Chain A
Amino acid sequence: MNYAEYRDFRASVAGRNIIFYYFGYFSQHVISAMADAVRLQLEQAETAASTRRKIFSSFVEMAQNITHYSVDALTPEALRDNQLRQGSVCIGVEDGRYFLLSANPVAPESVEALRSKLEPLRTMTLEDIKRAYRETLRADQPEGSKGAGLGFLTVARDASAPLEFEFGPCEGSDAVMFYVKATI
């Protein structure tokens, strides 16, 4: 990339009101450092405390989903801690509201499970979401989940619009790119 291309890249980011973007490998240390950066920026921007908390919470859930489930990992699957997995996360402002976007590669066989978890959330009211949250809190840990099955419900609870998601091709790989968008 030359300076002119980099300038265009920066201009494209600036034009989209992006306050934070990261692409690369996610570890717990990286997430903790990013969480600090996000918090500082939101404080600087004098964002309302309740909005800051919702963005922070959604950010942590989405970033930790990447360390738990991205299939592009530098670390062995069996390792319980210190996972290092690839994805991207972005926070921006659109029509006066904050949004968070994340993307990470998933195995093709995970697509249906993710879809069946996310699709019902889209038509649920906030009351429905809170009820499902309370029920899940009391239920046993679902098979294969590291987040108690509460992660997407937590994000949905803090969002002001239904969660959006999308699956797309993943260049140079058999994996599927999984996108999630939350508007706060």
Chain B
Amino acid sequence: MTTETRDDLFLPSTGSSPEVDFRFSEHALALKGESYPENAAAFYADIIARTKAYLATLAPSQGVTVNVALTYFNSSSTKMLFSLFHALSDAAEAGARVTLNWHHDVEDDTMLEFGAELHEEFPAIDFHDVAVEG
């Protein structure tokens, strides 16, 4: 199991789940697309477990860049994403330098507000709001 923690995680997008491109070896994690799988808890459980295992191996002050460009997520995905950012925040509090680039359509208030929510809840993460012209 420990040998697997450094393996990168790639899941292609489907009609209702996002592309997951977690390059643990490069300390670069990216989520892109839409997220409304039937069972978000099941979909994200492994992603979160793998991320936590990776975060546990980080050297102090290691930089980690997270790019999130989700155009839509449903309510159950919201809850799981919050857990994922919680794990990243714990790593940041433990010394890692975690940068979160939060990409959203410039007119999408829901995404803007959710990003602001993350920024407020997890101050240890270096948060960047990236408004993209639609």
Q: Which residues of A contact B (CB under 8 A)?
A: 28-29, 31-33, 35-36, 49-50, 53, 56-57, 60-61, 64, 67, 80-83, 130, 134, 137-138, 141, 146-148, 150-151, 153-154, 158
B42 touching A80 by the CB < 8 A rule?
Answer: yes
Q: Given A32-B15, A134-B117, check contact A151 B110 (CB 8 Å).
A: no
Decide: B82 and A137 in contact? CB cutoff 8 A: yes
Q: Give 9 nearest A-B pairs by CB, closest first.
A: A148-B79, A150-B75, A32-B15, A28-B38, A154-B75, A147-B76, A151-B75, A32-B16, A147-B75
With A32-B16, A49-B134 known as contacts, the answer to whether A64 contacts B36 (CB < 8 A) is yes
Q: Determine if A80 and B76 form an interchain contact, defined as CB atoms under 8 angstroms apart.
A: no
B57 on interface, CB distance cutoff 8 Å: no
Residue of B nearest to A141 (CB): B79
Q: Interface of chain A, helix or strand or loop or mixed?
A: helix
A80-B42, A141-B79 known; A28-B108 Cβ under 8 A: no
CB nearest neighbor in B for A152: B75
Question: What class of interface size applies to chain B in its complex with A?
Answer: 20 to 34
- B74–A57 CB distance below 8 A: yes
Q: Which residues of B contact A (CB under 8 A)?
A: 15-16, 36-39, 41-42, 72, 74-76, 78-79, 82, 105, 107-110, 113, 117, 121, 134
Extra inter-chain contacts (8) besides given A32-B16, A81-B38, A147-B74, CB under 8 Å:
A33-B15, A35-B16, A36-B15, A53-B72, A81-B39, A81-B42, A147-B75, A154-B78
Specify which chain B residues have a CB less than 8 angstroms from the CB of A82 in the assembled complex.
38
- In the complex, what's the smallest C-beta–C-beta distance from A140 to chain B, in angstroms? 10
For the complex, what is the distance from the CA of A134 to the CA of B114, rounded to whole Å?
A: 10
Q: In whole angstroms, how far apart are the Cα atoms of A35 and B79 in the complex?
A: 21
Would you mind naming 30 contact pairs between A and B with Cβ atoms under 8 Å apart?
A: A28-B37, A28-B38, A31-B16, A31-B36, A32-B16, A49-B107, A50-B107, A53-B108, A57-B72, A57-B110, A60-B36, A60-B74, A64-B76, A67-B38, A81-B39, A81-B42, A82-B38, A137-B82, A138-B121, A141-B41, A141-B79, A146-B39, A146-B76, A148-B75, A148-B78, A150-B75, A150-B76, A153-B75, A154-B74, A158-B110
- In the bound complex, CA of A22 to CA of B128 (Å): 41
Q: Which chain B residues border A32 with CB–CB below 8 Å? A: 15-16, 36
